[in-house]
Amino acid sequence: MKRMAIELFSSARLLLPTRRFRWQLLLLVLIAAAIPVTELLVAKLFTDLVIDGANRSLLELGFSVSIFAALFIATRIANYIQKTYRVKFFDRAFGADTRERSSQKESWEWAMALELVNVFSFITQLIVISGFFFALSPAFAGINLLLVIIVLEVFGRLFRKQQIIQRGYVEAKRNKEAVAPAERLGSRIQTAEFGTLLASFLVVALMGVLIWLSIAGVISLSNTIVFFLGLRLLNTTFSSVSSSLMRFARAKANSF
């Protein structure tokens, strides 16, 4: 995981040589990270309304529904802004770069840059979601945090292995050696899916722990539902991290 972090941050410095653009990248990542936590907060409000709505006054219900609607709309708007603005962001960043590069290299750098934002955003989302869990149940959140660390460590090792493989393909191309497209694509996809599959097994195991804690009365019903939705979100994010990391490895091997 440490080597993966070093590789990601060093790549960010290569792509964004000025501090101004690095701060803007951080802002993009933070916006992306805030989206899933807001969605979980929306889920929390929704479950509380469904479970305890009959015991609330009309004023309280109206206020809660208004907050629920506002947060839901805000997440969709933030997601739209983050995904569309990053193209303009990298267009300005690359335009300010004085390095000379071919159109092919520039194309790979674009792919690398977009995947870099994805990886940073997804990993930050994992951290922020784990932090949100602590507000609901520190005991379960601690187990979840351990799972996130284990998965990221595995992803780091798979990423390092895929980097070596992709660099081998680049060297083979330079030496005019034939490499079947199925081999190039298959290696990346298989590694990404293996990481996703392993993470899914661990998430399912954690869901079993959640059910046990809920039955034992350690976690309330509304929080159990939010945790379940959060774990599904974590599973989807793990899959996105795994796929983006392997695509980033391929783009990095062809870029620098």
Q: Mean pLDDT of successive 10-residue segments in the chain (256 residues)?
A: 80 78 82 78 73 63 71 76 77 67 70 86 89 89 93 93 86 76 79 92 93 89 87 91 91 79
Give the contacts of 27 (CB within 8 A, at least 6 positions apart). none
User: For residue 192, which of 241, 129, 134, 125 has the smallest C-alpha distance?
Assistant: 241
User: For residue 233, which of 104, 91, 41, 19 has the smallest C-alpha distance?
Assistant: 41
Q: What is residue 53's predicted lDDT score, i.e. its pLDDT? A: 56
Identify residue 247 by its one-letter amino acid code. Answer: R
**CB contact at 8 A, 199 and 242:** yes
Q: What is residue 185's predicted lDDT score, i.e. its pLDDT? A: 77
Strand, coil or helix: what is 65?
Answer: helix
Query: Cβ-count burial of 122 within 10 angstroms (0-12 exposed, 13-18 middle, 19+ buried)?
Result: buried
pTM, rounded to two decimals: 0.82
Question: Which runs of consecutive H residues, i.e. helices, occur in the chain?
Answer: 2-15, 19-52, 58-95, 103-136, 138-174, 181-215, 221-255
> Tokens 């992709």 identify what position?
166
Tokens of 162: 């895929």
Q: What is residue 46's predicted lDDT score, i.e. its pLDDT? A: 72
**CB contact at 8 A, 154 and 59:** no
Identify residue 208 by its one-letter amino acid code. Answer: G
Give the right CATH number for 2-255 from 1.20.1560.10, 1.20.1090.10, 3.90.1170.50, 3.30.230.10. 1.20.1560.10
Q: Where are the domains of the chain?
A: 2-255
Question: Which runs of consecutive H residues, i.e. helices, occur in 53-102?
Answer: 58-95
- CA pseudo-torsion sign 207, 208, 214, 217: negative
Q: What is residue 104's predicted lDDT score, i.e. its pLDDT? A: 67
Strand, coil or helix: what is 71?
Answer: helix
**CB contact at 8 A, 196 and 238:** yes
Strand, coil or helix: what is 176?
Answer: coil
d(CA 195, CA 202): 11
How many whole angstroms from its chain centre is CA 10? 19
d(CA 175, CA 178): 9
Q: What is residue 222's predicted lDDT score, i.e. its pLDDT? A: 81
Identify residue 185 by its one-letter amino acid code. Answer: L
d(CA 76, CA 81): 9
d(CA 185, CA 116): 19
